[in-house]
Structure 1
């Protein structure tokens, strides 16, 4: 029964997290009205858009330039948002109670700049500012993610991207270049698997990965699990969402690499259905991402009122080791957190750190049982019938 139920859970989880094409011209490969689609490096690399220009799928204001020749994650076309530059596009939600998660590529728009301007990303229920930072990837662009909000079927979603100056000297500012936008939907209700009192403990539900990305997705600090793109986990500092295709992932297709820079970074969540005063066992896998991250990992783990530091010597080749911690629940929803205190860099001076995966909480008195509901039974029968 446990295996049968777990299979239903995994199937339902995948169905809630399927990516869809919501945006028109998300990679800017369809050129402006006054520019040939075959423009390449022989042409002017930056074409200023004016009132005679039309960028398919998008409206724009301020200083916006169409980029035709750069090292980018797709075929080499993007948009630079200069001073007061803004683009936006409205699309329609296609399901009830779904979170709309945006992943996008960001690159600074110049060299030898004193500052890099920020990129403001807004949705119906959210706003955040992102800035390109050195020492986070081997390629000259980075993938970031933002939760646009939770919306119902048929509701309009207005996605707005605009530059945000950080320094008053705009003449020496690198204005942001944006490319390859991807929208992914994540259901707000995920059925839990057999006995684990944590939701999304394997980190399988998170932002989408860009097709040509090899560097994972950076998730900046998000104090609220409601606004986080890592389903049911809040983020402290910066973490990297990594995929099994390009990194060592202990289990499944995704995991979290914690990047501790000038301050500690980490992730935090809460258990469900724990009883105050009862004892539980927290288990997790601590490892490295196989990204040449060599060093001493120190991760602080807190579970309820208990806390303990765990260490791992990493040789950067894809190691992993299981650890555990017994704790007593101090309330019905016990806090679980992982914090990295180690500033670790590769030989290329790129920030790296410990990988966390397979986080599980079980009752000491026995594995908590989760009984299939009639809805799940019906879902399973429908699935079998389709097959």
Structure 2
């Protein structure tokens, strides 16, 4: 009897711990890698039976606790890091309460892999914000991709929820998820633009190698986060980077104030430890061809001249072949080709234009679909982007 009471007390403590919010810093969420296992008494095979059985998490519906190397029929279920992951069945969800700074902005990074269905997706929510992340396109040979999603904390404690909205013939069929981490983001740049379109390539627009200018690097840049150093958390042990999925323009971007405009495709955020980055520690790889645009809106003065400069190259990840980055700003456009050997390297591109409005949209698109030898999508990297008003420099030269 005493043993039963002790076990009940332990289980109650686990439940209360799961329901309480933990103070969060940048990095892995509490039990974000699911290495803290549910009690064996709360498992029916792989299915988790107790609502609070997984430490620090609350579940709903058909949720499975999957070990590395486990099989479903002839299909091997891999785990990206550690020994365990979780699978969400039809309409299943998993959530965690997190203590944050009210009004601050955060990005969640997590890894996911398809299993049975071909059109799987995940609904991520921190009320009142909610988005559907498409995971049907696989960007790695392992089947695992890391995704990012950003939100504003509307309270000091929030509930982060991941839900599988899919309905499959097999109730257990659903995506595998693992490795949940969080990172605080700088406040986003406000924008009133609602134009979700980006221009098509004009017949003109040729390669333009940027000559040296009198601009001092890092000064007078009207673009925010032009070096992409501010972005979602990247796991040290995952070499495939982090996908930034498409978003509505009212959403908070993990790459703020850059936005990703597409219907279902993403861009990839890559780091120097695992990729060749033109400058600094981070860059963006355009892995989805013309289906995805990387966009930022910038305040400009109509009639003034501006110069956009950027680096375009390859991430040294085996993505070889002809690459082309098309950049748009105002009514101008430039096409920058790069012949990749898949070993890293870059070239500089430039576009001079005259602003036509109080706000100018800067757009980057990959004009080709590139693939690695293993058949996974890849593309050119973009980095070290700057936009300066050249009238200042002309006036400076006249004074000299």
For normalisation by structure 2, the TM-score amounts to 0.77
Structure 2 residue corresponding to 1:208, chosen from 233, 236, 250: 233
Task: Give 1:197's aligned residue.
Answer: 222
Q: C-alpha displacement at 1:58, in angstroms? A: 1.0
Does residue 259 (structure 1) correspond to residue 270 (structure 2)? The answer is no
Deviations 1:256-303 (A, max 9, x none): 000125x5222010223x211000111000101111112222222111
Name 1:182's counterpart in structure 2.
Answer: 181
Alignment of 1:350-365 (within 5 A): 350-365=376-391
Residue 248 (structure 1) aligned with residue 273 (structure 2): no
Q: Which residue of 2 aligns with 1:107?
A: 113
Deviates more, 1:290-299 or 1:200-209: 290-299
8 Å contact 1:116–1:176 — kept in the other structure? no
Q: Is the 8 A contact 1:301 1:308 kept in 2?
A: yes
Q: Map of 1:141-160 to 2, 5 A cutoff?
A: 141-147=144-150, 149-151=151-153, 155-160=156-161
The structure having more radius of gyration, on CA atoms, is 2
Identify which of 242, 255, 258 aligns with 1:233.
258
Give yes or no for contact 1:135–1:349 (8 Å, CA) kept in 2: no
Equivalent position SS for 2:170: helix
Contact 1:306 1:327 (8 Å CA) reproduced? yes
Displaced runs of 4+ in structure 1, greater than 4 A? Answer: none
Give the unaligned 5+ runs of structure 2.
1-23, 70-77, 190-216, 395-400
**1:117/1:270 Cα in 2 relative to 1: closer, same or farther (>3 Å)?**
closer
Quick check: 118-127 or 250-259, which moved more?
Answer: 118-127
- Structure 1 spans left out of the alignment, 5+ residues: 1-17, 37-42, 369-387
Q: Does 1:349 align with 2:382?
A: no
- What SS does structure 2 have at the residue aligned with 1:196? coil
Per the alignment, do residues 144 and 195 of structure 1 end up closer, same or farther by CA in structure 2, a change over 3 Å counting?
A: same
Give the secondary-structure state (helix, strand or coil) at the position aligned to 1:298.
strand
Q: Classify 1:195/1:311 alpha carbon distance in 2 versus 1 (closer, same or farther; 3 Å).
A: same
- 1:47 match: 46
Number of equivalences: 333
**Is this contact kept in 2: 1:195–1:367, CA < 8 A?**
no
Q: CA deviation at 1:53?
A: 6.3
Deviation at 1:367, TM superposition (A): 5.5
Deviations 1:218-245 (A, max 9, x none): 1111242742111101102321100011
1:74 corresponding residue in structure 2: 81
